[in-house]
Amino acid sequence: MSRILALILVLGGLAGEAPALGLEDVGTTSADFLKLGSGARSEAMGEAYVGLADDADGIAYNPAGMVQNVSGLVQASHALWFQGLTYDNFNGLMPTGGGGMLGATFDYFSTPQIARTLLQSNGNYVNAGTFTPYDMQAAVSYARPLLLGLAGGVNLKLIDQSIDTNSGFGLALDLGALWQAPLRGLTLGFSLQNMGTPIKLASDAFYPPFVIRGGAAYRALDDAVILSVEGDLPVDNNPVLALGAEYNIADRFFPRIGWRHDGIFNPWTLGFGLRYDVWGLDLSAVPYGSLGMTYRAGVDWRFGRPGAGLSARLSYVSTVGSGKAAVLQPHMSAPDQVEAWGLYIYDGAHRSRIVRVFSGFGPLKTSLLWDGKDQNGRPSPEGVYWAVLSVRYTTGQTLNSDYVRLEVNNSAPLVSLSIAPESLNPNAAGEAFIPVVFYPTLKSGRGIAAWRLEILDPQGKVFRAIMGEGALPPQLIWDGKDDQGNELISAQIYSARLWVKDAFDSEGRTPAPVAFKAVFR
C-alpha cells in the first residue's frame, strides 16, 4: 500500500516520498487539524460524507460533490473542542455555468494562550510572556460534470502553522470524484486528500495527513431519508469506517445520527438541522471519551437559488373538433440539472382536484401542451383551470412554480356593438356626434386574439377600418375620417360593425350593423 501511495504522490508532483499507512505512524504528519472536518451536518453524520458531499461541508471530503448544487452557498461554522480548543470554518460555493462550481475555504484552528518559559544558565525557568499557537488553511476549489454521471473536483490548499516564533507553510492538493449511479438516489464518491509538500517548523518537516476516502450515499423514500457509508485509509492511523443517516421532516427539520469507528474513540454522533427558505442552521455533538464532548454550530445562506417558473403563451383551450391546446412555457435557472418534473392541471372550481398530470425525467422541453382533456382522455368542461409546475433538481431540491390561469372555451365568440350615450344627440334620435364612441361587448367566447371595427358609408362600402390585436378595449373611437384621412359628409347615414377572432381562429361578428346619422357638433 505504501508503494501505491508513493506513486500517487510522485505523480501529483507534490512529494518525493510517501510514508507508510498504519497506527505505528501516529505523530508523523503535520497539519493534523485538516482531519477535523468543516461543518456540523457532516460531523453529525459521522463524517460519512465522501459519497454525499452535496453542500459546502463537502469541500473538505470530496470537492467533486460541489456539482450537486445549482445555487450559490455561503457557510460558516464554529466548533468548541475540549481544553478550550476552537475551530472556525468559512466555505463558499458559486456556480460558473455549464454545471461547474467554484469554491473557497478558510479554516482557523486555535488554542488558548500558552505560557512561554525560558531556561536560565543557573537551571531555573523564568516566565517570558505568552504565545498562541494556531493552524490555518485557505483553499480554492473547482468541480464540474465530466461524462456519464461522473464529476471531478480539485482543492488547492495553502497551509500555515505557527507555534511561538516558528511558523511553516505548505501546499496540498485534493482530488475527488463523484458518480451518479444508474440506480436513482445512489451516489458513489472517492477522494485523495492532502497530497502535499512537507511543512517545516524549526528543524523538523512533515507531510500533511494524506488520506484515501471512498463511500456511498443513498436517498430513499422520495429523498426523505439519506443513508451514507464511508471507509478511510489515513496515512498515520487505523482504517476508519463511518456510517451516517439524515431524515427530512417537511423540508424544515433534519435529525441526524452517525457512528465513526477508528479503533480509538468510536463515537456515536448526533445533531440536527433547521431550514427556513434560504437560511439553514446546523448543530452537532460528538463525544471523545475521557477528553469530553465537542460541539459545532453552523449557519448557511443560499443565493441565486434554482427557480421553477411557468408562463402561458396561450392560456385558452378548445376541445371542439380537432381542438387547440394551451401552450405553457417552463422557465428553469439550471435546466441541465433538472432530474424530474411534473405539470399538474387543477380544476378551478375544486382546487384540490387534479384533472391532468404530465411528468418526465431530465431537462424539460421549451413548451408543454395541454389539450383540455382529463387523465382519462375525456374533454374537460368549460371553465377556469390552474397549472403548476413542480421540478426536482439533481441537488434533491424540489421547487414549485406559481399557479398559471387557464380556460377551457368551446364557444365561438359572439359580440355586440352600441354607441355610447355621450355620443348620441339627445335632441335628435339616431344622430351621433363626431367623434363617435362605441362600446364593444363580448357575449360569449374567450381569448380574443384580433378584432376589427368597420365603418360603412351610405352606399355600404367600408369607409374606415380600425384594427387591433388581443382583448377588446373597453371602448372604440371613430374620429369621422376615412382610411385616407378624409372627413365624412355630415348628416349622412353611416353604420358600424365589429368582427373578432379568438385564440382558436373561430370568428364572430355583430349580427347587424349599427346605423346612425353622423354629424359634427
Q: How much is the pLDDT for 26? A: 60
Please name every residue paired with 454 in a beta bridge, in sequence order, or none if there are none: 465, 497
pLDDT value of position 13: 39
Using one digit for the tens of pLDDT, what is the confidence trace for 458-472? 999 999 999 999 889
Q: Which residue in 316, 234, 244, 233 sits closest to 273, CA to CA?
A: 244
Residue 8: inside a domain, yes or no?
no
Q: Is residue 158 part of a domain?
A: yes
Is 13 part of any domain?
no
Q: Are residues 194 and 66 in the same domain?
A: yes
Output the nine-digit C-alpha cell for 446.
374567450
Q: Are 285 and 324 in the same domain?
A: no
Residue pair 442/350 in contact by the 8 Å Cβ criterion:
no
Q: Which residue has the higher pLDDT, 118 or 518?
A: 518
Q: Is the pLDDT of residue 477 over 60?
A: yes
**Domain annotation covers residue 7:** no
pLDDT band at 7 (very low <50, low <70, confident <90, very high): very low
Query: Average pLDDT for residues 245-251, to the nearest whole number?
Result: 93
pLDDT at residue 73, rounded to an integer: 92
Domain boundary among 363, 393, 408: 408
508 and 397 inside one domain: no
The domain boundary, picked from 279, 303, 327, lies at: 303
**How does residue 4 score in pLDDT terms, banded at 50, 70 and 90?**
very low
pLDDT digits (tens, 9 = 90+) for 329-377: 998 767 777 888 999 999 988 777 999 999 998 888 889 999 989 999 8
Average pLDDT, the chain: 86
Do 402 and 451 fall into the same domain?
no
Domain that holds residue 286: 23-303
Task: Identify which has the larger pLDDT, 434 or 96.
Answer: 434
pLDDT at 8 over 70: no
> Which CATH number belongs to the domain containing residue 139 in this structure?
2.40.160.60
**Residue 124 pLDDT:** 77
Pair 96, 175 in one domain: yes
The answer on pLDDT for 43 being more than 70 is yes
Number of folded domains that form the chain = 3
444 or 16, greater pLDDT: 444
- Residues 385, 281 within the same domain: no
Ramachandran sector of residue 263 (left: φ over 0; alpha: ψ -120 to 50; beta: rest): left
Can you list the alpha helix ranges (DSSP code H) found in 271-430?
none
Q: Which residue has better confidence, 82 or 39?
A: 39
For the record, the C-alpha cell of 391 comes out as 421540478
Residue 10 has pLDDT above 60, yes or no: no
pLDDT band at 303 (very low <50, low <70, confident <90, very high): confident
Q: Using CB atoms within 10 Å of the CB of residue 296, give its burial: 0 to 12 exposed, 13 to 18 middle, 19+ buried.
A: buried
Cβ contacts of 481 within 8 Å, gap of 6 or more: 464, 487, 488
pLDDT at 458: 93
Residues 234, 381, single domain; the answer is: no
pLDDT at 225: 96
Confidence label for 480 from pLDDT (cuts 50, 70 and 90) = very high
pLDDT of 503: 74
82 pLDDT higher than 90? no
Could you tell me which residues are beta bridge partners of residue 161?
135, 168
Residue 19 has pLDDT above 60, yes or no: no
DSSP-derived 3-state class of residue 411: coil
Provide the pLDDT for residue 333.
67
Whose cell is 479554516? That residue is: 107
Percentage above 70 pLDDT, the chain = 92
Q: Tell me the three state secondary structure of residue 309.
A: strand
Residues β-bridged to residue 330: 310
Question: pLDDT tens-digit profile of 394-439?
Answer: 666 677 888 999 988 877 788 999 999 999 999 999 999 999 999 9
pLDDT higher at 206 or 405 = 405
Does residue 24 register a pLDDT over 60? no
Return the bridge partners of 400, or none.
390
pLDDT, one tens digit per residue, over 119-143 is 777 777 778 777 788 899 999 999 9
Give me the percent of the chain exceeding a pLDDT of 90: 51
16 lies in a domain?
Answer: no
In a domain, 193, yes or no: yes
* For residue 17, pLDDT beyond 90: no
Q: Are residues 440 and 385 part of one domain?
A: no
In 3D space, the residue among 146, 209, 142, 138 whose CA is nearest the CA of residue 180 turns out to be: 146
Judge if 221 and 361 occupy the same domain. no
Residue 314 — φ and ψ, nearest 5°? -140, 115
Residue 487's CATH number: 2.60.40.2550
Question: Could you tell me which residue, 160 or 315, shows the higher pLDDT?
Answer: 160
Give yes or no: residues 431 and 320 share one domain. Answer: no
Cell of 477: 373611437
Report the first-to-last Cα separation within the chain, whole angstroms: 105
Last residue of a domain, one of 286, 303, 320: 303
What CATH number has the domain bearing residue 398?
2.60.40.4070
Q: Please, which pLDDT band fits residue 11 given cuts at 50, 70 and 90?
A: very low
The answer on 270 and 159 residing in a single domain is: yes
Answer whether 456's CB lies under 8 Å from 462's CB: yes
Query: How many C-beta atoms lie closer than 10 Å to residue 504's C-beta?
Result: 22
pLDDT winner (highest mean) among 231-245, 262-276, 400-414: 231-245
Same domain for 394 and 451: no
CA distances from 252 to 218, 229, 271, 471 (A): 20, 24, 14, 44
Q: Indicate if the pLDDT at residue 381 is higher than 50.
A: yes
